[in-house]
């Protein structure tokens, strides 16, 4: 499955160059050309799925294994103390390339990055109410 307009499909096909770090049967990983920190890598299915929600569940295990392996290798290669794994699902969440991909971002103690500004719920009731709404939609 391939989208002729998709930049990541072109990368998988070798039509656009990429700094490859991992190449498996159905999964590919390469460096983001505009990294949050150097060593920031992207892990993608080779087939075209616009978002995480479209992804074939059968691929999930292979993608997760690739994320583990790339995260470990990025930490070793950069000396990072940890990584953030992230996926932007939808334009509102910052997704720009609509070929599902995980970001692996090296992190260092005291690196000053604050990726998840957080705010507590106004009340425990509101938190419980929303949890119930979500549970109801999980069947």
Q: Active-site residue numbers?
A: 101
- Find the binding residues for ligand AMP in span 20-39 (CB under 6 A): 32-34
Q: In whole angstroms, how close is the CB of 93 to ligand AMP at the nearest point?
A: 8
Which is closer to Zn ion, CB of 9 or CB of 63? Answer: 9
- Least separation in angstroms between residue 72's CB and ligand AMP is 21
Check residue 43 for interaction with ligand AMP (CB under 6 A). no
Determine the interface stretch with ligand AMP among 21-29, 57-65, 88-96, 121-129 (rule: CB under 6 A): 88-96
Q: Is 51 in the site for ligand AMP (CB under 6 A)?
A: no
Q: Mind spelling out the 3-state secondary structure of 68-135?
A: HHHHHHHHHHHCCCEEEEECCCCHHHCCCCCCCCEEEEEECCCCCCCCCCCCCCCCHHHHHHHHHHHH
Of residues 96, 115, 134, 138, which one binds ligand AMP by CB under 6 A? 96
Any idea of the CA torsion for 105, 93, 7, 4, to the nearest 10 degrees?
A: 150
Torsion of CA 21, 88, 45, 82, to 10 degrees: 40
- Rounded to a whole number of angstroms, the minimum distance from the CB of residue 20 to ligand AMP is 11
Q: CA-CA distance, 79 to 77, in Å (whole number)?
A: 6
Q: Which does 33 bind (CB under 5 to 8 A by kind): ligand AMP, Zn ion, none?
A: ligand AMP
């Amino acid at each position: 499955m391939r989208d002729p307009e998709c930049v990541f499909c072109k990368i998988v096909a070798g039509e656009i160059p990429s700094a490859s770090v991992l190449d498996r049967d159905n999964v590919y990983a390469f460096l983001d050309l505009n990294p949050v920190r150097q060593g920031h890598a992207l892990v993608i299915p080779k087939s075209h799925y616009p978002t995480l929600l479209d992804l074939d569940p059968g691929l999930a295990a292979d993608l997760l294994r690739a994320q583990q392996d790339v995260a470990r290798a990025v930490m070793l290669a950069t000396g990072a103390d940890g990584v953030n794994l992230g996926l932007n699902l939808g334009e509102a969440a910052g997704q720009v390339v609509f070929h599902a991909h995980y970001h692996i971002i090296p992190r260092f103690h005291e690196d000053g990055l604050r990726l998840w500004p957080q705010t507590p719920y106004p009340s425990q009731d509101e938190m419980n109410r929303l949890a119930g709404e979500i549970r109801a939609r999980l069947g």
